[in-house]
Amino acid sequence: MSDATLAALPPRRMSWRRRILEGGGFWPAVPALVYLAVFLVAPIVTLLGFGFVTLDRGQVADGSVTLEHMTGVLTDPLVWRLTWRSFWVAAVATTLTLFLAYPVAYAFSHVQGIWRTLLLVAIISPLLTSALVRAYAWIVILGGRRGLLNQTLLSTGIIDQPLQILNTSMAVLIGMTQIHLPFMILPLLAVLAERDKRYEEASLNLGAGQVATFFKVVVPMSLPGIVAGFALVFAVSYTNFIIPQLLGGGNYSTLAVQVYEQTIVVLDWSRGAALATLLLGSCFVMILLITAVGARLTRWSEVSK
């Protein structure tokens, strides 16, 4: 049989055993998918399912499938106030991290050599410390009269009375902004460090100034990193309960804090699961909205070029 005839024959279908052995298709991803299904999807589905049943001493009561817990959560005005507070804190903290992270990422894209390495180490090093430890560090800094901040301001004569920052929304915003800042910087680094600087040179050669080039060329090119960082920081801020609980004090509560208190402290797993369903569902909707707006802005920036 000639080579031309062999080439014209349809290729043989590879058996599934051979595909597994050779790693073809989606098979290499199966272990990761199984791991995610067992240790991520299944626990979340189980937790959310508790919101639709009644638990008695840790056991699901027979015939207890009900919408009472979800209805009670959705009709509770306090829950919606906490949801709004969670959204407000997350939105403000995310915006603050964006304004603080962008200059750092922009500077990283211009430095070279040892300075770039040192800046990268400074960005990543906070991630090596637990968020809980950093939250306690902010308690030491923002504490009462004996706090580091008040001691410094009082000793220098800048203020006469200690500032009341701890156990307020300001303390929560400060903690969230500092703790989540690396999650905003890293996506911006990936985009700004690899951007094509010839577009900036062309803009400058055509007569545009540095400011116009930055806002009309650099910022539109970095929109994918802005959207990715905004979505990531918003998600971790919206669902965070450690920072509001420690820096906001016992009277400062968010939706995530309520989930923790109902599940761990009160041991009302059904209501806690219903609150968790609302928390995760609303967070998922917000991320979809951020992604949709980011996709539209990215298309607009490409067209405007």
Report pLDDT digits (tens) over 52-95: 887 766 677 666 777 888 888 888 899 999 999 999 999 999 99
Q: Does the pLDDT of residue 151 top 90, yes or no?
A: no
Is the pTM for the entire model greater than 0.85?
Answer: no
Domain with CATH 1.10.3720.10 in the chain: 69-304
**For residues 13 and 230, is the Cβ–Cβ distance under 8 A?**
no
> Which stretch of DSSP H or E encloses residue 135?
helix 131-142
How high is the pLDDT of residue 93? 95
Task: Of 26-30, 35-39, 273-277, give the lowest mean pLDDT range.
Answer: 26-30
How high is the pLDDT of residue 129? 86
How high is the pLDDT of residue 70? 86
Task: Of 63-67, 138-142, 202-206, give the lowest mean pLDDT range.
Answer: 63-67
Task: Of 12-21, 24-33, 72-81, 270-279, give the lowest mean pLDDT range.
Answer: 12-21
Would you give the DSSP letter of residue 248? S
For 82, 132, 158, 173, 218, the CA distances from 215, given in Å and listed in that order, are 36, 37, 38, 27, 6
The CATH number that domain 69-304 falls under is 1.10.3720.10
**For residues 198 and 213, is the Cβ–Cβ distance under 8 A?**
no
Torsion sign over Cα 200, 206, 209, 215: negative
Q: Does the pLDDT of residue 185 top 90, yes or no?
A: yes
How high is the pLDDT of residue 63? 64
The whole-angstrom separation of Cα 72 and Cα 195 is 50
